[in-house]
Amino acid sequence: MLEAKVRWVDGFRFDATDADGRELALDASVAGGGEGKGMSPALLPLMGLAGCTGIDTLEILQKMREPVAGLEVKVSSRKKEGIPSGYDGIEVEYVVTGKGISREKVEKAVRLSEEKYCTVSQVLAKASKITHTITIVEE
């Protein structure tokens, strides 16, 4: 079971805690009335998407015996206008570093992650279109 809770600290700042006691500070931006002393709650699903699909993609590429030396996953989106705003499309960029990396295998790993394994991707895809790009950096 996944569990999380937040506790109000002051202003618009909250401390988020998971079931294992790990903490993360949340706060509204200065423009949003907060002090910007924590992560924006709207950013957390995007970070979750990057981490979730990154883990899946790396695991799949390792099982394919691809010589991955580095993997960076960048996620970006704009918030829609209005309330609730939501995301106006989500762009995921995968940057895979290694010697002799197969583009075909990276594309397959990304597709499997996004369409089958990544829970966060499944949830966000219901609310916003997710697109991706892949860059392979030869070592």
| Model pLDDT for residues 88-106, shown as the tens digit of each residue | 999 999 999 999 999 999 9
100: left (phi over 0), alpha (psi -120 to 50) or beta: left
**Same domain membership, residue 98 and residue 49:** yes
Tokens in use for 13?
């700042």
82: left (phi over 0), alpha (psi -120 to 50) or beta: left
Q: What is the mean pLDDT of the chain?
A: 95
Residue 82 has what pLDDT?
A: 80
Tell whether the model's pLDDT for residue 81 goes beyond 90: no
Phi, psi of 45 (to 5 degrees): -60, -35
**Same domain membership, residue 95 and residue 76:** yes
**Same domain membership, residue 32 and residue 12:** yes
**Same domain membership, residue 130 and residue 86:** yes
**Same domain membership, residue 129 and residue 61:** yes
Query: Are residues 131 and 93 in contact, defined by beta-carbon separation less than 8 angstroms?
Result: no
What is the helix (H) or strand (E) element at residue 120, kind and residue range? helix 119-125
**Same domain membership, residue 51 and residue 98:** yes
**Same domain membership, residue 31 and residue 53:** no
Residue 41 has what pLDDT?
A: 92
Q: List the domain range (segments joined by +) for residue 125.
A: 44-138
**Same domain membership, residue 86 and residue 29:** no
- Residue 91 sits in a domain whose CATH number is 3.30.300.20
| Region 120-134 average pLDDT | 95
Residue 86 has what pLDDT?
A: 87
Q: Going by C-beta distance under 8 Å and a sequence separation of 6 or more, which residues neighbour residue 132?
A: 91, 92, 93, 94, 110, 114
| Model pLDDT for residues 47-64, shown as the tens digit of each residue | 999 999 999 999 999 999
Specify the number of domains making up the chain: 2
Q: Going by C-beta distance under 8 Å and a sequence separation of 6 or more, which residues neighbour residue 55?
A: none
Give this prediction's pTM: 0.90
**Same domain membership, residue 110 and residue 85:** yes
| Region 74-95 average pLDDT | 91
What is the helix (H) or strand (E) element at residue 104, kind and residue range? helix 103-112
| Region 9-27 average pLDDT | 96
**Same domain membership, residue 50 and residue 29:** no
**Same domain membership, residue 90 and residue 118:** yes
69: burial class by Cβ within 10 Å (0-12, 13-18, 19+)?
exposed
**Same domain membership, residue 98 and residue 59:** yes
